[in-house]
Amino acid sequence: MDCIFCRIIAGEIPSKKVYEDEYCYAFYDINPQTPVHILVIPKEHIASADGVNAENSIYVAKIFEAIPKIAATAGLANGYRVITNCGDDACQTVKHLHFHIMGGRKLPENMG
């Protein structure tokens, strides 16, 4: 298994867990870009948003059910941003679908 996020799910690489259920795993980003920076990943390997289809979209639905709980736990009552980078132009570095939950301060209006 050469996918770093699959290895985090398997417990082979340590992570700071925030939330876990049958479908997803959430943990703190190792290189936070905002005061709160959490990653949520599906427990099935999906390479990116481009790999979502009718067979695996339940993982995305379940992730978005989990996000409000994760945000509440992390103290993001004032708002947060959910981002997924897909492919080279978006600078996706880890090829396992992940959603960044970012907040803890006012974020810039410009998104790109």
Question: Site residues (CB under 5 A) for Zn ion?
Answer: 3, 5-6, 45, 96
How far is Cα 2 from Cα 110, in angstroms, rounded to an integer? 34
Identified catalytic residue from 37, 96, 98, 100:
98
Amino acid at position 81, single letter: R
Cα 93 from Cα 65, distance rounded (Å): 25
Alpha-carbon Rg for the chain, nearest whole angstrom, is: 14
89 interacts with ligand AMP by CB under 6 A? no
State phi, psi for 4 to the nearest 5 degrees.
-60, -35
DSSP 8-class letter at 78: T
**Continuous segment of H or E residues that includes residue 102:** strand 99-103
Does residue 98 have an active-site annotation?
yes
Footprint on residues 7-36 left by ligand AMP (CB under 6 A): 13, 15, 29-31
Cβ 103 to ligand AMP, closest distance in Å?
Answer: 15
Q: Rank residues 13 and 72 by Cβ distance to ligand AMP and give the closer one.
A: 13
* Residue 96: contacted member of Zn ion, ligand AMP, none (CB under 5 to 8 Å, by partner type): Zn ion
Residues with catalytic annotation?
98
Interface positions with ligand AMP (CB under 6 A): 4, 13, 15, 29-31, 39, 85, 91-94
